[in-house]
Amino acid sequence: MTRNVRNLGLLAVFAMALAVFSSAQEFAAYRVQANIPVDFIAGDQQLAAGDYLFLVNGENHAVTIQNQATGKSVVVMATPIEYASSGYDRRNGSDVVELSSVGGGTYVLSDIEARNNGVSFSQGASSQTSAKKTGSLKVVASLR
């Protein structure tokens, strides 16, 4: 009887630890690094081409974009990308930073797609980003 109570207690502790770990995973941040070959707009900021680190906050989906050469950072709000199902992941795909071309050589940060997560950025209403999307540029990135 004592052994059964002890085992039941251990099982309850294990279940609680698993629940805490699962919720922590949901809000964990992830980092994506990419060499962006063109100047681009993120939010209302114009950023120069270069090597960038994108730190995605899993809780509020704020993305800190840091230029690795200058150290300059900006924060842009994003929305999570809903994958087809909870079991879906991009197992065979590369991590990608996608920029949308809005004409005139102007690119706007569009999406970050990692293996299990992704975020999408609003195109905004500024005069630079209100033009019609004319194409996209996908940059292969690495998860850090």
Where are the domains positioned within the chain?
Answer: 28-143
Q: Where are the beta strands (DSSP E) in 15-143?
A: 30-36, 40-42, 45-47, 50-56, 62-67, 73-77, 79-80, 95-101, 107-113, 118-120, 135-143
Show pLDDT as tens, one digit a residue, over the chain (144 residues). Answer: 677 656 555 555 554 544 444 444 444 588 999 999 999 999 999 999 999 999 999 889 899 999 999 999 999 999 998 766 555 555 566 788 999 998 888 999 999 988 778 899 986 544 444 445 567 777 766 655
Within 10 angstroms of residue 63's Cβ, the number of other Cβ atoms is 22
Contact (Cβ atoms closer than 8 angstroms) between residue 76 and residue 70: no
pLDDT value, residue 70: 94
